[in-house]
A = this chain, B = another copy of it.
């Protein structure tokens, strides 16, 4: 059959019906879902794996789970507040703790005594203590009020609930600073939960391996399997100056998990769009991602070429180049998934089933309001707006730190004249001082790198042939390079004092300034705002409305297979340890061994990023090279899950999630267990490394080893 006719849904209703049973049969076997702890897929797990999830089991996982303020996950692994996460989650802390001559990222760290543990300033961890369903209260207030005031009513009610939760905890004796109360919405407002977190601000670094171990294989190996990393680090939480004793923590399993074994992941997946309609997926596949990839490749080649000019140039753009390569690989993985008809077919069948069910139960009445059509229409508008919006409002046509500063200065002046609630989101009082701080103290700005980026981005704007009168206005009779040079050589925004002075001006005064970058930002702004406003009214709002309608209707189906999109809140995922078969027919076994790390380094002549650390080479003779190193499973995870524990049915740690393979990247939109796999460091490898390479007796004792 032909997947591409799916766009015309009418023709294939009969075919679709035939697939119906087949589909449900297949679905019931898939380990899909990022489940709320309040609604775990008990039956599915019982049916497929014969395991009964008990309240005690859930409680252990929930209370042992940790969320990192900078976007990762972790878990308590000892009674002494020891927290395990990935090396790559620890990197920003390692960077902050480094000094000239003491490079913790490169060389790793171990505190042989408690006194030597290093406090991580600014690092905040939270742990979910309580979940309370507050949907009824909020819905009651919403139903009692008028629909126009819904936003206001919801906001007030949420404030009230959060305050009550806080008071309750204060009464129990918790300190204000150790609490975080938050009402979170799921299913687009179908469900509201109050989450009460314990908050930890005294976090200290205990152990991290060398970067060449924690990120062995670097960018080329990222999102790949087989893999050979020991992507682990340990922190300790302190409370009032002493190690914190958590209510629950996860025990260690030295033996790990065997093939086919049921395993759980408890962590904080970031964002998914699992419920995108078919039209939306086609839009992503045919419009958005191809455009995005083309922009990314352009920038990658640009930075790569610049880096080749010399050592200093390479240093200047190293992290930007790394991040763009990482993005390219990630987005390419997503696009490859969207271009896989099997996956699209699966989504199509899901959508057909959902449509039929909702219409049958009168939860959606297309003649009154058809959310699918509404999404399709909004995307038709977006198709036309996408490039101008990216170029002018997101600023892709002006890829320069100094332009970003100029725009912020201009917008701060304009937005500050409005009352807080009427401002653009990113200029509200709550974030304004941080934004100003950023303008006064931005990262280093390299004039030549600025110049090539601004030249290329002005060129891309010109080549896009979007709003020609507008780029005529901007470029006048100059080439992109001439314009970039003029802007960068004449602007005074490189001077912090000048930025400070301009920040204090109102819009009328700014217009009198002759700084060309400020003038450019002023020229761009009205059109950019117009496009943004069009985008919000004709794309964002209709999409939100339509997805809310679908989500809420779907929630009323009480469908046991319906889990909410990821939102950085704590979720449970289940799956099994399993290899897979590559498209080329090659069988990929579910694990690698420590011996593989050495072979992999040798294959690449130990050239970075394959320069396996000296500590491994030196201690190779003592290692049991047959220890499993990395392990893969069918768990449904995504970015944000980094550092999550992989847990067996006894509640023991058998691994540490650190990545997904390329085939898993489409998890943004679609779960698949055919080839997509979650990647973990095997618990035995962590133990073997701590014992025989890093000799961290203190940690091993705490893990009971």
B220 close to A305 (CB less than 8 A): yes
A481: contacting residue among B1, B451, B583, B585, CB under 8 A: B583
A339: contacting residue among B294, B468, B480, B585, CB under 8 A: B480
Query: Size band of the A side of the interface?
Result: 35 or more
A340 → B minimal CB distance (Å):
4
A2 at interface by CB-CB < 8 Å: yes
Nearest residue, chain B, Cβ from A298: B297
A15 at interface by CB-CB < 8 Å: no
A459 at interface by CB-CB < 8 Å: yes
In Å, the complex CA distance between A553 and B82 comes to: 87
A11 at interface by CB-CB < 8 Å: no
A260 at interface by CB-CB < 8 Å: no
A4 close to B220 (CB less than 8 A): no
Which residues 455-496 of A have a CB within 8 angstroms of B? 459, 462-463, 465, 468, 471-472, 475-482, 485, 489
Question: Which residues of the other chain, B, contact A308 by a CB distance below 8 angstroms?
Answer: 219-220
A315 → B minimal CB distance (Å):
13
A419 at interface by CB-CB < 8 Å: no
A608 → B minimal CB distance (Å):
11
Question: Which residues of the other chain, B, contact A2 by a CB distance below 8 angstroms?
Answer: 472, 476-477
B286 close to A472 (CB less than 8 A): no
Question: Which residues of the other chain, B, contact A481 by a CB distance below 8 angstroms?
Answer: 336, 583
A365 at interface by CB-CB < 8 Å: no
In Å, the complex CA distance between A477 and B471 comes to: 42
A294: contacting residue among B294, B305, B603, CB under 8 A: B294
In Å, the complex CA distance between A584 and B462 comes to: 21
A603 close to B310 (CB less than 8 A): yes
B286 close to A301 (CB less than 8 A): no
A310 close to B341 (CB less than 8 A): no
A584 close to B310 (CB less than 8 A): no
Nearest residue, chain B, Cβ from A604: B310
What 5 A-B pairs are tightest by C-beta distance, nearest first? A340-B479, A290-B463, A341-B477, A220-B308, A297-B297
B584 close to A477 (CB less than 8 A): no
* Per-residue interface assignment for chain A, residues 288 to 304, with 1 indicating a CB less than 8 Å from any chain B CB and 0 otherwise: 00100010011011001
* Per-residue interface assignment for chain A, residues 605 to 632, with 1 indicating a CB less than 8 Å from any chain B CB and 0 otherwise: 1000000000000000000000000000
A3 at interface by CB-CB < 8 Å: yes
A240 at interface by CB-CB < 8 Å: no
Question: Which residues of the other chain, B, contact A340 by a CB distance below 8 angstroms?
Answer: 479, 482
A328 at interface by CB-CB < 8 Å: yes
Nearest residue, chain B, Cβ from A4: B472
Q: How many copies does the complex hold?
A: 2
In Å, the complex CA distance between A454 and B442 comes to: 43
Nearest residue, chain B, Cβ from A472: B4
Question: Which residues of the other chain, B, contact A463 by a CB distance below 8 angstroms?
Answer: 286, 290
A13 at interface by CB-CB < 8 Å: no
Nearest residue, chain B, Cβ from A481: B583
* Apart from the given pairs A2-B476, A297-B297, A341-B475, 7 other A-B contacts in the complex at a CB distance below 8 Å: A4-B468, A294-B297, A294-B298, A310-B604, A336-B480, A339-B480, A342-B479
Nearest residue, chain B, Cβ from A219: B308
A650 at interface by CB-CB < 8 Å: no
B584 close to A489 (CB less than 8 A): yes
Question: Which residues of the other chain, B, contact A604 by a CB distance below 8 angstroms?
Answer: 310-311
A339 close to B465 (CB less than 8 A): no
A35 → B minimal CB distance (Å):
29
Question: Which residues of the other chain, B, contact A384 by a CB distance below 8 angstroms?
Answer: none
Nearest residue, chain B, Cβ from A477: B341
Question: Which residues of the other chain, B, contact A479 by a CB distance below 8 angstroms?
Answer: 336, 339-342, 583
A309 at interface by CB-CB < 8 Å: yes
B339 close to A462 (CB less than 8 A): yes
Question: Which residues of the other chain, B, contact A311 by a CB distance below 8 angstroms?
Answer: 604-605
In Å, the complex CA distance between A468 and B7 comes to: 12
In Å, the complex CA distance between A583 and B480 comes to: 11
* Per-residue interface assignment for chain A, residues 567 to 608, with 1 indicating a CB less than 8 Å from any chain B CB and 0 otherwise: 000000000000000011100000000000000000111000
A465 close to B286 (CB less than 8 A): yes
